Structure 1
Amino acid sequence: MNASLSPQLPASVLLPLIVAMAAGAAVPFQAGSNASLGRALGHPLWATVASLLVSLLVVIPVLIGMRAGLPKLAAAARGPWWLWIGGVAGVAYITAALVLTPRLGAASFIVCVVAGQVVASLLIDHFGLMGLPAKPVNLVRVAGVAIIVAGMLLVQWGTTTASAGAAAKAMGT
């Protein structure tokens, strides 16, 4: 194939995509480890606490190493109320992950998370929420989200049919 006809992404675009994929790849491991931690600690919320404490213990040395300086708490306190919901969302996500991942499986849980993220992101973009510029919904964007939601349903259906097949096989039918 002629090299001039094949699209190539520059490293300045490709590297952030790879880093974002690696960050995304860590999420199912986080869900699985937190689920096991919750069982080991005796309650899912203790795993949420432990996860957040470990996060704090990891990020503080990074901040010190980067010489980030002290946080500007007064400026943040004067900001809109929604500046602070990230922590609440983090607790909700971590707790849902450690409770639901063992029940749904890692793939089913994560595909639901991704579908929820994309639907919410489309709404945030459309209305320009959270201080972001408005990017109105159009048919192409809605179609893309619909494909992702359809993919979520297919993963769920595939999991259900696989479980039913395994159960039937175990019963000898």
Structure 2
Amino acid sequence: MAGQPSPSDDHGTRSRTGAGSPQRAAGGRRRRRQDAVRRSEPVRLAARSGAHPPQCCPRTRCDPPADGRSTNRTRSPSIWLWRGLGILCGMSLAVQAAMLGRLGTALGSPIKASVVSFILGFVLLCAVVVFRDHGLDLGKAIRGHNPPWMWIGGLLGAVVVLMTSWLSPQLGTGLTVLVVLIGQVTGGL
């Protein structure tokens, strides 16, 4: 209709460009980019203030970037490195179960095998913390408003190592790893 502004016109004047013109396409890209900036503004402000960014909801949609790039990181070549490390971690659980079972048998107690395993692990982790992080600072986590249950992960780790060293001679390494894996999958649901 003559005299009415077109929907794509920002200034309220009638657009003189055709539907497929480069100027009109550039205007659409510009608006999409501006909309993306407006949607991400609360996230940027929250990041600057140290607060957690808002969760996805209709008001703050999590749309793909306006430039059309994919946010899917699984296509990155480095993802295969991380997947390989995950597989090696799983393999090390099987090897650890066999070692703990043998150590528990040699020491005459799965508890002693677990203690030896934790002492060696503690020494290794202390060395990693000193060389990588230049010390251990728990003050921020202690002073923060964190739930108390987050500190019991080490206790659960001790139970896992103890049960692995006790079950491995009883069930065998393969079945021990299988039941631990079933427990992990069930607990993850």
TM-score exceeds 0.5: yes
Normalising to structure 2: TM-score of the pair?
0.56
Q: Deviations over 1:43-94 (max 9, x none)?
A: 1111111100000111111111113432224623652121122111111111
Match of 2:126 in 1: 60
Aligned to 1:72: 138
Rg comparison, structure with higher value: 2
Deviations 1:6-40 (A, max 9, x none): xx953221111100110110011111111111122
Q: Which amino acid aligns with 1:50?
A: V
- Secondary structure at 1:36's aligned position in 2? helix
Runs of at least 5 residues in structure 1 that lack an aligned partner in the other structure: 1-7, 123-173
In structure 2, runs of 5+ residues without a counterpart are 1-73
User: What is the number of equivalent residue pairs in this alignment?
Assistant: 115
User: Within 5 Å, which residues of 2 pair with 1:41-60?
Assistant: 41-60=107-126
**Aligned pair partner of 2:79 in 13, 17, 23:** 13
In structure 1, the partner of 2:174 is 107
Distance 1:121 1:68 in 2: 33
CA distance 1:73–1:31, shift in 2 (3 Å): farther
| CA RMSD after TM alignment | 1.9
Percent identical pairs in the alignment equals: 30
Counterpart of 1:87 in structure 2: which amino acid?
A: G
Larger RCO (alpha carbons 8 Å, 6+ apart): 1
- Under a length normalisation based on structure 1, what TM-score does the superposition of the two structures give? 0.60
